[in-house]
Chain A
């Protein structure tokens, strides 16, 4: 079983994001970069599938700059077998990213793709679904449970109003939700081993994929800040202001 896990480098979710005054982006000094938390869950799930089956290969992929090596090494230290870094200096949109991943999938022929449901920087939640369509594969997004027997994959999904169970025959694309698992930390031996694992760099232009973005971010700005209101002294006063002042109850 070969599992492809696409990943993205994002600011640590606890980072206080500051928009640059000229609207060109966010302030990046003082930012700690991490693997997108949903992708970490995807790596963990891929490792568990491999461990349950007793054999297989987990291949990481990322599309970004050379510095993204760091996050791929972290994924390798968690236990992934090898990594592919597609180098691109220009900003790609979701269609571009999905096209690159579709090309990697065509070359690598994985049985399964597991990836985060969304990256916590642009919060788009698009690439997994786009990739599934480009490959003509089934998709199971927002997964909270994955079971694989032979070539049959059953996925429990977190949807509005309850839990939905989908099944398909491999290959397919799964995107992860928060409750799927608790990702492991990289162990020291894992970190040592990761240094020797293969991390292949591929220039995006060499893939023969049209990367012209159809979505362009023109400007970022900070949202208007909400002002703190006032403190009340007791539960009774709170109910009273909500009733007589705010007229909400």
Chain B
């Protein structure tokens, strides 16, 4: 009883960093309440990935299997998880606030009649949870009541779970799913192919804004810097709205939230909604020709310059460093 259940999202057997963060947050929450943290892996033919999850310090892993869970679809997953939550009698259900976590957990919460806190960044005292609101301009302390509570955590706010020496037991459960209640068909998935690190996993992120002026300039001006630094590439909403780059590169309140060791903002003015997605980065660098740009108010190092001149110079300097 009173356990913490972590939904361990996987992508074709791969465990993204966001899942390790969810496990880390689940372990932290369980420790705070003096209870156990159990992970659930859902899918079809997932023994290998379930075994891997068992190596991250959790007390047990439930392998929730059903052909309808082979690919992620909200209705099937919400049904199966709700039944499991009731069977286990857990107090908290927790997932990372990824596209899947955001899609699934509210549906699960409604099925359980349970309250939900989104994008939690810290666990407070007396059962409270801390979460950002108003694009990160306010931190709300919220309290959830009821026997079950649902949480998504922001992946930049918690440590990843450390691998443990002992593997937890893995138990297979046949998911309880009523096929007649499944009404969604997954037609296709068009993957954005990239050799670069994932935005949410990278140590360095280089982002471009409207100042780049075109998609072509992202390729010819920004990408050489991204690659010279071994970084992931991001973009402001303005650059995405203008069609310079695909939407999954958007960093901000309504895009991805990142907190790398180094964030380089190139030609980005620093609108409130962009700052919400990157202001927790360890070191922020801003390059902008407008010295009044709000991005400089959060930057550790600012360079007031024409990016079309400064960025190629930076590429040369970084290459020189790497050669020496």
Contacts and interface: CB of A to CB of B under 8 A. Distances in A.
Interface in A142-201: 142, 144, 154, 157-169, 172, 177-179
A98 interface: yes
B321 interface: yes
Contact of B192 (A161, A242, A246): A161
Interface string B95-123: 00011101111111111011111110000
Contacts of A131: 110
B247 A136 contact: no
Given A162-B248, A164-B186, A249-B318, A139 B107 contact: yes
A30 interface: no
A223 B103 contact: no
Interface stretch (A45-53, A80-88, A230-238): A230-238
Contacts of B313: 234-236
B99 A235 contact: no
A178 B274 CA distance: 14
Interface stretch (B57-65, B213-221, B295-303): B295-303
Given A141-B102, A217-B142, A218-B143, A223 B132 contact: yes
A232 B301 CA distance: 7
B110 A130 contact: yes
Interface string B299-310: 111111100011
B190 A178 contact: no
Contacts of A137: 183
Interface in B191-222: 191-192, 198, 200, 204
Grouping DSSP codes into helix (H, G, I), strand (E, B) and loop, the A interface class, with mixed when no group exceeds half, is mixed
A166 B181 CA distance: 16
Contacts of A141: 74, 102-103
A220 B133 CA distance: 9
Interface residues on B, range: 35 or more
Contact of A221 (B139, B181, B187, B198): B139
Interface in A106-163: 117-118, 120-134, 136-142, 144, 154, 157-163
A70 to B, nearest CB: 21
Given A228-B299, A230-B301, A164 B247 contact: no
B323 interface: no
Contacts of B145: 214-216
B116 A136 contact: no
B297 A243 contact: no
Contacts of B186: 164-166
A220 B8 CA distance: 31
Interface string A219-230: 111110010111
Name, among A164, A223, A232, the residue most crowded by chain B CB atoms within 10 Å (CB to CB): A164
A230 B118 contact: no
Q: Chain B binding site: helix, strand, loop or mixed by DSSP? A: mixed
Nearest to A98: B110
B109 to A, nearest CB: 7
Given A95-B110, A178-B247, A231-B303, A161 B191 contact: yes
A159 B183 CA distance: 20
A74 interface: no
Contact of A162 (B137, B191, B261): B191
B317 A240 contact: yes
A202 interface: no
B15 interface: no
Given A161-B248, A238-B301, A139 B75 contact: yes
A235 B264 CA distance: 12
B110 A138 contact: no
A26 interface: yes
A154 B317 contact: no
Contacts, number: 266
A57 interface: no
Interface stretch (A1-9, A12-20, A59-67): A12-20
Interface in B150-203: 181, 183-192, 198, 200
Given A95-B109, A177-B247, A160 B100 contact: yes
A228 B107 contact: no
Contact of A130 (B106, B134, B146): B106
B136 interface: yes
A158 B144 CA distance: 30
Nearest to A102: B110
Contact of B317 (A16, A124, A217, A236): A236
Given A139-B184, A218-B142, A162 B115 contact: no
B106 A241 contact: no
Interface of A: 11, 13-14, 16-17, 19, 26, 38, 93-95, 98, 117-118, 120-134, 136-142, 144, 154, 157-169, 172, 177-179, 213-223, 226, 228-236, 238-243, 246, 248-249
5 contacts: A133-B106, A142-B103, A158-B247, A164-B186, A228-B296
Interface of B: 11, 73-75, 78, 98-100, 102-111, 113-119, 128, 132-146, 181, 183-192, 198, 200, 204, 229, 237, 240-241, 247-248, 253-254, 261-262, 272-273, 279, 283-285, 287, 296-305, 309-311, 313-314, 317-318, 321
